[in-house]
Amino acid sequence: MTRYLVERTFPDGLGLPINQQGADAAATIVAKNAEHGVTWVHSYVTPDKKKTFCIYDGPTPEAIRKVATRNGLPVDSIREVRVLDPYFYM
């Protein structure tokens, strides 16, 4: 599995409320991801909710794009990343 950073832009802001509706939407995304071997690890969202930086594990960038399309999510860029832990050196 490769780890990817996926950058997305939502011109009208990300609509994933913290309630049952939001939970359902997230669950749907997770289920559709799983069909293609993709795992959504977590995301960082800017305060205006117009930009997200999402960490994913997946087999290929094509799989990341495929689930994005299936979930109706935009993709600005996909980058392969590795973890760097500063406390590792202390």
Partner 1 sequence: MELLERDADTARLAAVFGAAKAGRGAMVLVAGEAGIGKTTFVRRFVETQTEALTLIGHCDPLFTPAPLGPLYDIARAAQGPLLAILDSGANRAALFSNILAYLQASARPAVIVVEDIHWADEATLDWIKYLARRLDSLRALLVATYRDDEPAPPLKQLLGELAGLPAVSRILLQGLSTAAVATLAKGKAIDPAALHRQTSGNPFFVTEVLADKSGGIPSTVRDAVLARAMKLSPDGRALLETAAAIGARVNPELLEAVLPAADAALRECIALGILRADGGIAFRHELARTAILGSVDPLRRRSLFRAVLVAAAKKERADLAQLAHYAEEAADANAVKRFALPAAKAASALGAHREAAAQYRRVLRFTDDLPTIERAEILEAFAHECTLIDDLAASIEAYREAAQIGANLNEPERQASALAALAWSLVRNGQNPAAEEASAQAVSLLERQPPSRALASAYRIQAHLRMLDRDRDAAVAIGTKAIDIARGFEDRETVAAAQLVVGAAMLVSGDDAGRAVLDDCLAAAGETGRDDLVALARLNIGSSYGELYRFAEAERELAAGIAFATERDLDHAAHYMRAWLAIVHMYQGRWVEAADLAAAVVDTSSAATVSRIMALAALGRMRTRRGDPGATAALDEALDLAASTATLQRLAPVRAARAEAAWLAGDPAKTIQEAKATLPLAIAHRHRWHIGEFALWLHLAGQDAGSIDECAEPFARQIAGDWQGAAASWRALGCPYEEARALSAGDAGAQLKALKIFNELGAVPAATMLRRAMREAGITSVPRGRRSSTRQDPSGLTRRELAVLDCIADGLSNKSIAAKLFIAEKTVDHHVSSILTKLGAANRTVAAKLARERRSGEADSAK
List of residues contacting partner 1 (CB under 8 A): 2, 4, 8-12, 60-63, 65-66, 69-72, 74-80
Q: Are strands 39-45 and 2-9 parallel, antiparallel or unpaired?
A: unpaired
* Nearest to partner 1 of 17, 59 (CB atom): 59
- Long-range CB pairs of 30-36 (<8 Å, 24+ gap) are 32/67, 32/70, 32/71, 33/67, 33/71, 35/67, 36/63, 36/66, 36/67
Smaller CB separation from partner 1, 43 or 60: 60
Give least dist CB 87 to partner 1, A. 27
Residue among 72 and 86 whose Cβ is closer to partner 1: 72
Tell the smallest beta-carbon distance from residue 89 to partner 1 (Å): 26
